[in-house]
Structures are given as structure tokens and as C-alpha cells.
Amino acid sequence: MHKIAMLIISLAVLSSCSKETAQSTPTTTQNESARKAVAAASTISFSGYTWEVRTESGTSGPGPNYWSNSSSNVWVDASGYLHLKIRKDASTGRWLCSEVTSTATFGYGTYLWEVEGAVDKLDKNIVLGLFNYKAGDDGHHEVDIEFARWGNNAWPNYNYTVYPATGSGSVSQTNELTLNGTYTTHTFTRTSSAVSFQGYHGHTTAPANAFFPWTTPAGYNVSTLALPVHMNLWLFNGNAPSNATEVEIIIHSFRFTAA
């Protein structure tokens, strides 16, 4: 585990879900007509917040990747669920990734996501990130939940990482996530002295459904800033999915409960 943890730490600077800024078959058989009729939206409304949808003409990190705000990559359906997709553009052959960032910032309290998708079965080159991040200050002020094998099927697929307020050296915990279905809930709680993570099978926070709790070591220099929330779905090192298959994840809700 130590070897894996050190490897994840070293990769984090290059590949953390924000360091340069499933295959699921959920109920996404919700078809095109269920999408909001906004082609290339710059913002969306989801879970009571406004989110900026990332788009760029070239490539940028993490990855590097191409990012699209097309309604074929990011949309909110008739049920109010957010869809994030990695897809191959037929005209260019490029794989297009997706990211949204809250316009609001959040501080101490509990962050909660209800996710639909086979996040335990993502291709080795796929990364799903749910996180806090201060843009432009790489290596600091970041709290990550990442579903990723970082290009290697032998590595654990579930990652918690926290970057310090100052100085260098992130701390992380990795685990192998195995699910019975495609519904999960993921949380972290920020205080002035620690960040605590917890996952749950299903869309619930019942203790009986909990898995993989972890808290930053005592005395670790956690961020005390209010930070935006990001959600992204991207390709490690910009590599196409090894199974050449498009990927979609659905976020049913994001909730923040202030401390």
C-alpha cells in the first residue's frame, strides 16, 4: 500500500483532477430530447447552484485533454440530473472531456454527491473527479475524490487526496472499490484542522452502507479557504479509453451543509 500511496502522490502533481487549470450504462437511455435545449452552454443550473461549463479551443490539463461545453458532453436532464460525458467527435476524431465549476465558493462543512454509474469499472484511462480547488495555485488548496486507475489496471480505483494550504506534499489514501450496483454517495467534511472522507453504497448516508472512511493525519496543514466545487470526467495523460468506448456518468445531486 505504501508503494501505491507514494506513486499516487507523485502522479498527483501531473494528473490530479485539477492540477492544470463509466463506462456506465446508467439510466442514460434518457434520450436526446431529455437534454436541455442548449447547444454549447457557458453555464448550467444544477442542484440549486450555477456552474460554469469548461470549453477550450486547444488542449490543457489535466491530461492534456480537449474540453467541450457541447450539450453532447454536459447537460442537465428533465429530472434535474447532471450528465458528464467523454465522447469521440466524429468529425475530428478527438476525444472530448467535460468539467463544470461552481460559481459559488464553499468552506467548512460537508460536501455530498449522489452518483450514478459503474465508477468501480471505469476504463484504466478514465478519471472522474469530485473536488474543491483554488484555480491557479497548483499543489495547494485542494480536496479530491477521484475514481481512477491512472492508466494501470493493477492500481486501486478509489482515491482521496488533500493538498496543503502552504508548503509541499499532499496526503492520500487509495482503496479498491467494488460495487453491487451503480448508485453511490460520496462525501468529505472540511474543518479548520482536518478533512474526513466517507463513501456509501446507494443514495444514502446510512452507517450500514458506509465504506472507506479516512481522515487527514493530525496536524496536517489543510486549506482554510472557501473554494469552488469542480466535477470532471477526463482522460489520464490524454490517452483514449483503452476499450475505445465513450463514457457517461450521472450526478443526481450535489449538496453542501455548512458546519
pTM of the model: 0.86
Q: How many CA atoms lie within 13 A of 246 on its CB side?
A: 20
pLDDT of residue 180: 86
- pLDDT tens-digit series, residues 5-15: 333 334 343 33
Domain boundaries, the chain: 2-28+41-258
pLDDT of residue 30: 33
The answer to whether 97 touches 235, Cβ cutoff 8 Å, is yes
pLDDT of residue 8: 39
Q: What is the CATH number of domain 2-28+41-258?
A: 2.60.120.200
Q: How far apart are CA 21 and CA 15, in angstroms?
A: 11
**DSSP label at residue 54:** P
Query: Cα 213 vs. chain centroid, distance in angstroms?
Result: 18
pLDDT of residue 224: 98
pLDDT of residue 37: 33
pLDDT of residue 14: 37
- Residue 65: helix, strand or coil by DSSP? strand
User: Which class for 61: exposed (0-12), middle (13-18), buried (19 or more C-beta within 10 A)?
Assistant: middle
pLDDT of residue 40: 56
> How far are the Cα atoms of 29, 43, 47, 67, 200 from residue 40, in angstroms, in the given order?
21, 9, 20, 11, 34
Nearest in space to 181 (alpha carbons), one of 22, 31, 46, 30? 22
Query: Cα 5 vs. chain centroid, distance in angstroms?
Result: 19
- pLDDT tens-digit series, residues 212-225: 999 999 999 999 99
Q: Which residues of the chain have pLDDT under 50?
A: 1-39
